[in-house]
Amino acid sequence: MRSPTMKHSLPCCALLVCSLTLTGCGRPGESVAITETREISTHAPAPNIDITSATRFYDDARKEAQERPDFRNLLTWTVPEGWKESGQPDPMGMRLVDLRFGTGGEGECYITLMPGSGGGLEANVNRWRAQMGQQPYTAEEIEKLPTKPFFNRDASFVAFDGDFKGFGAETAQPGYRMLGLIHSAEQATIFVKLTGPKALVEQNAAAFDAFCQSIKPNLPNQ
């Protein structure tokens, strides 16, 4: 007859034996064949190729910041009559120039410059449409956007009506109109955006065109 001690030690012994048996399991060998693959989505961002270690590890970010020119000095423009520069700093500090027009300064127009594609034309146009409470455009609709000459090239032009809710605003402002021009080059993308009450914007549409045409690169030799 087995003693109670022996009987109860059986489960523990069994677990111990199992554990010792499996101790060496699990570590892959010195050479392993790769067996897993995956298809990368068509929505995934385009790959960045041949990027230096300094850039990959953000080591050049500080140096670049020190060397970064003041973007305001890269461009020149002519402020339309009746428009004036805003006295308030813009919320994100990204505007090269921030103009106001209208009796109470209800209309605003500003230029921003972003490196590279700046997120892409489709994302930016649809972001603006969302600000106007409009449904996003499809890729086909984006392709069909009208263009206007800008910087000796074509820039995509947009004009939307709707209820405007700008960055950081609590509520939307009804009856607004937005005009915008987006020009994307390999190095940077420039945005010119005008918003205001619809009637005021329509009055200033020609001034907007003139303002856009006045924006030029600030070349020292010219």
Partner 1 sequence: MTSPSSNFPAKLFAFLTSFALATTTLALLLLLTFLGTLEQAEYGLVASQARYFESLFVDRIDIGACWRALALNAYFDIGDIVLPIYVLPGGYTLMAVLFVNLLLGGIVRIRKSPKTIGVIISHFAILFMIAAGAVSYHFASEGSLELVEGRTGDEFRSFHERVIEIEKITTGKDEPRRALVIADGQYRDLRAGDKRVFTHESLPFDLVLTNWKQHAQPKRAADDRSDAVDGYYIQEISTLDESGAALPDEQLASACIAIARDKKSGEEQKGILWEFAAAPWTVSVGGEKFLITLDHRTYKLPFAIRLDKTEQEKHPGTERARRFTSWVTKIADGREEKRVVTMNEPVRSAGYAVFQQTFDDGTRSGSGVKRSGFQIVENPSDHWPLISCIIVAEGLLLHFLMMLARFIKVEPWKFSLGLILAFNAAFALAMWKLL
| Residue of the chain from 39, 70, 81, 140 that contacts partner 1 (CB under 8 A) | 39
Task: Provide, rounded to whole angstroms, the least separation between the CB of residue 116 and partner 1.
Answer: 12
Using DSSP bridges, classify how beta strands 107-115 and 95-101 pair: parallel, antiparallel or unpaired. antiparallel
210 scored as a contact of partner 1 (CB under 8 A): no
1 scored as a contact of partner 1 (CB under 8 A): no
Nearest to 154 by CA among 181, 128, 136, 188: 181
Binding mask 164-193 vs partner 1 (x if CB under 8 A, - otherwise)? ---xx-------------------------
- For 16, the token pair is 């111990």
Distances (CA, A) of 22 to 10, 26, 28, 191: 19, 9, 14, 63
- For 72, the token pair is 């305001």
H-helix or E-strand spanning residue 67: helix 61-67
76 forms beta bridges with 216
127 scored as a contact of partner 1 (CB under 8 A): yes
Of the listed pieces 14-22, 62-70, 143-151, 206-214, which binds partner 1 according to CB under 8 A?
Answer: 14-22
> Which residues are near partner 1 by CB under 8 A?
7-8, 10-12, 14-16, 18-20, 22-23, 25-34, 36-41, 43-44, 47-51, 53-59, 91-92, 94, 119, 122-127, 129-130, 135-136, 167-168
